[in-house]
């Protein structure tokens, strides 16, 4: 197990270093940027279901799911996204590789568990250009950076079938937004907004499971993230750029503007509610609604005239199917098949156009060990429940109306879930 952790940590470091570009979406220009984390590969392969849980995977979107954990779990995920950006004037393709999450979770007792890790919260990465009708004035916009989370989660079983959990997150990161105004002369004016962001927030979750005599189960889940304020230490500079005869930019003079040196901005309340039905280790189907009070978002340091925010809703339907979880000698029957769909509002209204998003996803889970034994005693004798999860998603966001951009994207995800029976008392040495 230790060798596996070292190998996966190397994968994490490599993917994290390669994925620091974060976003390539023009919509990351708005709000906090593009929100990156939407669940593990297993969650996302089912449309992003928060209500999903089992005893060998960690659901990082619902802290209550940790209480179902019966084995130590180490997880890491990364993704490749290919996007076609289309406007009324043409189209362009782009790709990005990004790190998605790194987590470690384990039992604290028979009825409780805890975990910690790191994941991206949001990212900024865009390049935009506008010109006037005579093409005598050109405006260039670009941005980079993002915000990451370090988290700690604790969950406990209250009664049989009822679990609760909470996550404490520390958010940190830096963003930079650059605006260059160019005219027909060789000089341009550059404005740079730099923000250093810090803040704490909390997530709370609850899961309820009602078992029936026929082996089926009803699942109910809910999560809540209260509104919090982040602190942004800001620096704004203006400088004169000399384009020069060769077309290269030379900075002639830079002046730092002192207004709004430190500001607070709110991260709106968000919540989810889900229902699911299924048979353990066989099949599951669930539906849920996610809500975020995005109309309460504000950031005094970066205010854009043609953008307003409204409350956002997201609707998800998804599930999984396992033909025969303990089939010996029939590997494909022990694989997990997942699929899902989601549709919703992003909460942004740009040029009086609501920005919507939808996605269709599917995925496969490949066991990395022998057939899954049904008893805890078998796990104590070294049976591993590790697996590799692959996920695929096709989606679309935005519109080509009102001078905006429609993004048609395909996303490939890969995640490793490494498991072992740490701290379990063995009956036989």
Can you tell me whether residue 403 is helix, strand or coil? helix
Buried b (16+ CB within 10 A) or exposed e, 245-279: eeeeeeeeeeeeeeebeebebebbbbebbbebbbe
Contact 113, 97 (CB under 8 A): no
Residues 14-51: tens digit of each pLDDT: 334 333 446 788 888 877 778 877 789 999 999 988 88
Residues 165-184: tens digit of each pLDDT: 999 999 999 988 888 888 76
The pTM assigned to this predicted structure is 0.84
Mean pLDDT confidence for 245-259: 59
Residue 375: CB atoms within 10 A of its CB come to 9
Can you read off the two tokens belonging to residue 161?
């079938």
Contact 115, 101 (CB under 8 A): no
Q: Residue 39: which of 27, 29, 52 has the closest Cα?
A: 52
**φ/ψ (deg, to 5) at 288:** -155, 165
Determine how β-strand 336-350 pairs with β-strand 387-398. Answer: unpaired
pLDDT for position 356:
93
- Adjacent-strand bridge partners of 187: 242
Mean pLDDT confidence for 241-256: 61
Can you tell me whether residue 103 is helix, strand or coil? strand
How many angstroms separate the CA atoms of 408 and 144, rounded? 22
**φ/ψ (deg, to 5) at 278:** 175, -175
> In this predicted model, which residue has the larger pLDDT, 202 or 421?
202
pLDDT for position 191:
85
Residues 259-304: tens digit of each pLDDT: 567 888 788 899 999 999 999 889 999 999 999 998 877 766 566 6
Can you read off the two tokens belonging to residue 160?
């049989």
Question: Which band of pLDDT confidence, cut at 50, 70 and 90, is reported for residue 384?
Answer: low
Mean pLDDT confidence for 394-405: 91
Rg over CA atoms, the chain:
24
CB neighbours of 99 closer than 8 A, spacing ≥ 6? 12, 15, 16, 18, 19, 77, 78, 120
How many angstroms separate the CA atoms of 161 and 319, rounded? 20
Can you tell me whether residue 68 is helix, strand or coil? helix
- Fold annotation for 2-420: Porin (2.40.160)
Residues 348-372: tens digit of each pLDDT: 888 889 999 999 999 999 988 655 4
Residues in the chain: 429
Lowest mean pLDDT among 16-20, 125-129, 217-221: 16-20
Alpha carbons within 13 angstroms on the beta-carbon side of residue 155 total: 33
Lowest mean pLDDT among 92-101, 144-153, 243-252: 243-252
Q: Where are the domains positioned within the chain?
A: 2-420
Contact 60, 223 (CB under 8 A): no
pLDDT for position 67:
93
Lowest mean pLDDT among 311-320, 327-336, 360-369: 327-336
Question: Which band of pLDDT confidence, cut at 50, 70 and 90, is reported for residue 83?
Answer: very high
Can you tell me whether residue 302 is helix, strand or coil? coil
């Amino acid at each position: 197990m230790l060798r596996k952790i070292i190998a996966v940590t190397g994968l994490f470091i490599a993917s994290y270093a390669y994925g620091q570009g974060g976003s390539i979406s023009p919509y990351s220009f708005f709000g906090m940027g593009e929100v990156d984390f939407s669940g593990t590969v297993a969650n996302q392969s089912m449309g992003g279901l928060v209500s999903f849980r089992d005893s060998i995977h960690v659901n990082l979107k619902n802290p209550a799911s940790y209480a179902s954990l019966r084995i130590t779990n180490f997880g890491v995920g990364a993704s490749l996204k290919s996007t076609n950006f289309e406007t009324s004037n043409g189209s362009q393709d782009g790709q990005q590789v990004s790190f998605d999450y790194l987590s470690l979770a384990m039992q604290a007792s028979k009825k409780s568990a805890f975990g910690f890790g790191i994941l991206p919260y949001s990212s900024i990465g865009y390049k935009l250009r506008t010109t006037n009708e005579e093409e005598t004035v050109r405006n260039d916009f670009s941005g980079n950076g993002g915000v990451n989370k370090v988290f700690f989660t604790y969950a406990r079983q209250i009664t049989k079938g009822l679990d609760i959990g909470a996550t404490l997150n520390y958010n940190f990161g830096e963003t930079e937004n650059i605006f260059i105004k160019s005219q027909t002369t060789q000089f341009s004016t550059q404005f740079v907004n730099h923000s250093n962001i810090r803040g704490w927030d909390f997530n709370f979750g609850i899961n309820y499971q009602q078992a029936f005599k026929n082996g089926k189960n009803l699942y109910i889940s809910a999560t809540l993230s209260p509104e919090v304020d982040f602190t942004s230490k800001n620096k704004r500079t203006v400088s004169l750029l000399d384009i020069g005869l060769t077309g290269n930019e030379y900075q002639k003079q830079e002046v730092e503007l002192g207004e709004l040196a430190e500001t607070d901005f709110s991260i709106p309340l968000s919540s989810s509610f889900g229902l699911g039905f299924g048979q353990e280790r066989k099949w599951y189907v669930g539906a849920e609604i996610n809500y975020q009070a995005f109309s309460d978002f504000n950031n005094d340091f970066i205010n854009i005239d043609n953008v307003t925010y409204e409350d956002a809703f997201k609707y998800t339907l998804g599930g999984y199917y396992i033909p025969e979880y303990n089939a010996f000698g029939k590997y494909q029957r022990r694989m997990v098949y997942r699929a899902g769909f989601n549709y919703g509002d992003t909460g942004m209204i740009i040029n009086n156009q609501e920005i919507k998003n939808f996605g269709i996803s599917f995925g496969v889970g490949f066991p990395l060990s022998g057939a899954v034994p049904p008893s805890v005693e078998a796990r104590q004798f070294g049976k591993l429940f590790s697996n590799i999860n692959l996920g695929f998603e096709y989606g679309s966001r935005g519109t080509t109306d009102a001078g905006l951009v429609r993004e048609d994207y395909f996303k490939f995800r890969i995640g490793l879930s490494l498991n072992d029976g740490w701290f379990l008392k063995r009956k036989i040495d």
